[in-house]
Amino acid sequence: MTENAGLTNGLAIQVSHLHKTVQDSSGSLEILKDIHFNVMQGESLAIVGASGSGKSTLLGILAGLDLPSSGQVLLQQQDIFALTEDQRAVFRKQHVGFVFQSFQLLMHLTALENVMLPLELRGDPDARSKAAAMLEQVGLGQRLKHYPKFLSGGEQQRVALARAFVTRPAILFADEPTGSLDAQTGQAVMELMFSLNREFGSTLVLVTHDPAIAARCVRQIRIQGGCLAEV
C-alpha cells in the first residue's frame, strides 16, 4: 500500500470544470468541454471513447503532462496546476507512474537501468536492488542486462510496467497500454498490471479502446466529442 493511501477524504483525483482549447488553421478547436469527476483512492477507472474524442488529452492533463485552458485537477489533494512546471515534475516523481502505448523506454539503457531511472531521480540509494526485484516480479529476472531492441514488445511493456510501479506510486496512469501488442500478449500484460495495482494499492486510470479491459475496472467514463457522456 502506498504511503498516501490514507487520505482523509479518500479522494485520489478531483477534476473540476476542465476545458482544453487549441488553435488550428480554422480557428479555435475545443478538445475538452467542462469535464468534472472524482476518483477514489485505490479505485480503477477506464476512460473510453472513439478515436479523437479527447481521452488521451484528458489523461495527459490529469498527469500534469499537458496544460488545460481552464479548470482544476487535484492529485492527492494537490492542485497540480498551481505548481510550476519543475514543481509538477517533482510531484510526479513522488506520486505518479505512467505507462505509454509505445513503451517510452530509453534505448541506450538496459532493462535494469530503465527501471532504476525513476529511483535514481529520487536519490534512492537502493535503486539497483529495487529495480532488479521489480523486474524479477514481472518475470524478467533473466533479462536485466538486455537492451530494449533485444526484447519483444510484451517484454518491453513489462519493463515499462516495472518502471512505473517500482516507485510504488499513489496514482498510475496508462495510455492504451496494450495498443502496440497482439491480443494474447496484451492480455498477459493487463493481467500483470491489475495484479500489481492490487498489490500496491495504487489508483489506476487508464485509456483504452478495448471493452474487455475497460470492464475490468471498477468504473468507466466515456468521452464523446470532448464532453463527459456518461459516468
Residue-wise pLDDT tens digits, 106-164: 999 999 999 999 999 889 999 999 999 999 999 999 999 999 999 999 999 999 999 99
Report helix angle 153-165 to 183-200, nearest 10: 10
Question: What mean pLDDT comes out for the span 190-208?
Answer: 90
Quick check: 9 and 184 in contact, CB under 8 A? no
- Counting every residue written for the chain, the total comes to 231
Domain-wise residue ranges, the chain: 11-230
Mean per-residue pLDDT for 22-46?
A: 91
* pTM of the predicted structure, to 2 decimals: 0.87
In the block, which residue shows the cell 527501471? 115
72-76, 165-169, 211-215 — which one is most confidently predicted on average? 72-76
pLDDT score of 14? 96
pLDDT at residue 175 tops 80: yes
**Cα 82 from Cα 61, distance rounded (Å):** 13
Whole-angstrom distance, CA of residue 176 vs CA of residue 211: 12
Q: What pLDDT does 9 receive?
A: 60
Which CATH number does 11-230 carry?
A: 3.40.50.300
Which of 51, 80, 52, 76 shows the shortest CA–CA distance to 68?
A: 80
